[in-house]
A and B are shown apart, each in its own frame.
Chain A
Amino acid sequence: MGRVRGVERARVVMERVDLTALFLHFLALWFVAVGGPSAILPDVHRYLVEVHHLLTNTEFAEIYTLAQVAPGPNVMYVTLIGWHLAGWKGVAATTIPLLVPATTLTLLVGHLNERYPDARIFRAIRRGLMPMTIGLVFASATILMRAVNHDWRGYLITLLTVVVALRKPWNPLWLFAAAALAGMMGFV
């Protein structure tokens, strides 16, 4: 992490975006993305920021954040990354892979599940994989924290968000708005 942060705003030399490789990488990721879009975040970060230097750490975090404040499922951050890298072609390369497991595996298992309702294997898979999902989402949270929080003030906002999100049923958009204001007034 340290070396990436060091060159952050200087903007690393861009590799040419290989859309086919990007498409295939996302396709492979979605097939193991049990736990959804937050579970693949560490690997998307590793691939784009650390291995291929297509995005800086800050750009990655900003794009993820923008997608969170847009309406729609959380997964749209991959679409925004695609747009940022290569326009509409990039959108296709990162978004289409998302539909493949959903339309093949999901329908297949949906059928099987209705035919064999009390299959023990489904329960075992769910119970077995759930803890791993939690570990992966925790990894996402730490990676994002290290990418965005440069000093104690960033961590303070993160901590306040955790406390509020766990205790109050408020819409997260209010937290985003408050933090944006705090940022513009020079707090962060």
Chain B
Amino acid sequence: MCYSSLETVEQTESQKPRVTPLALFLAFSRISLSSFGGAIFWARRQLIEKQRWLTEREFLDLFTLGQLLPGPNVLNLTVMVGYRFAGWTGAAAAVAGFLGWPCLVVVGMGVLYQHYGALPQVQMALAGMSSVAAGLLLATVIKLAMVLPRRWQSWLFGALAFVGVGVMRWPLLWVIGALAPWAVFAAWKERE
């Protein structure tokens, strides 16, 4: 992250493409409907390679910011991209495209689940699939942990968050409230 975002900003001011809210809605609909298991791959492909609205660097900048903020990363990215190109209307159009379709699909699945969820065949299929869902989460953790800096503070805060929320089953708000200030303070100190 050693590049300057200022450069990025100036660059976009000068050559920011003209994008209508409708184009934003369509592009984010496409991203959303093609993204099975994580939208980031498709967002990158659509925004950088297909539409050429963002450069690689601008995309990384917005994505990193989206990760730092609460909420789903790609949704944060969606809001920022929409707003950057077409203000509030753009942000609304991008979000509608990104969340609207999956919302309908998922409700359709809910209807099917309520009708057929109790059938033995469906139960057995779902049992197998749920074990896969758990495995995918575990794989995500391992991938994330591999890029974690090799410092004991990082592992300490990770372990405390796991024990508080996963073992003690304390409310997330308390655990984050108690740990986050110390974790950020430790990271802040460390640069000196």
Task: Report A's interface with B, CB cutoff 8 A.
Answer: 28-40, 42-43, 46, 50, 61-76, 79-80, 83-84, 88, 91, 95, 98-99, 101-103, 105-107, 109-110, 113-114, 117-118, 120-145, 147-149, 154-155, 157-162, 165-166, 171-173, 175-176, 179-184, 186-188
Contacting residue for A105 out of B70, B131, B190, CB 8 A:
B70
- Cβ of B71 and Cβ of A106 under 8 Å apart? yes
- Cβ of A72 and Cβ of B124 under 8 Å apart? no
- Cβ of A83 and Cβ of B106 under 8 Å apart? yes
List 9 A–B pairs whose Cβ atoms lie within 8 Å, in order of A's numbering: A42-B169, A76-B106, A80-B109, A125-B184, A129-B184, A130-B154, A131-B154, A131-B161, A139-B161
- Cβ of A162 and Cβ of B145 under 8 Å apart? no
CA A39 – CA B172 in complex, angstroms? 9
**B115: shortest Cβ distance to chain A, in Å?**
12
CA A87 – CA B66 in complex, angstroms? 30
By DSSP majority rule, is chain B's interface helix, strand, loop, or mixed? Answer: helix
Contacting residue for A132 out of B101, B138, B176, CB 8 A:
B176
What are the interface flags for B9-53 relative to A under an 8 Å C-beta threshold, 1 for contact and 0 otherwise? 100000000000000000000001111111100000000000000
- Cβ of B103 and Cβ of A91 under 8 Å apart? yes
- Cβ of A132 and Cβ of B179 under 8 Å apart? yes
CA A99 – CA B130 in complex, angstroms? 27
Within 8 A of A (CB), among B81-115: 83, 91, 95, 98-99, 101-103, 105-107, 109-110, 113-114
Also in contact, A172 and B132, with CB within 8 A (given A129-B180, A139-B165)? yes
**Residues of chain B contacted by A39 (CB below 8 angstroms):** 172
Also in contact, A180 and B135, with CB within 8 A (given A101-B69, A103-B91)? no
**B153: shortest Cβ distance to chain A, in Å?**
8
CA A12 – CA B140 in complex, angstroms? 32
The residue on B at minimum CB distance from A140 is B137
- Cβ of A109 and Cβ of B141 under 8 Å apart? no
- Cβ of B130 and Cβ of A130 under 8 Å apart? no
**A111: shortest Cβ distance to chain B, in Å?**
9
Of B75, B137, B153, B154, most buried by chain A (CB within 10 Å of CB) is B137
- Cβ of B36 and Cβ of A76 under 8 Å apart? no
CA A26 – CA B41 in complex, angstroms? 27
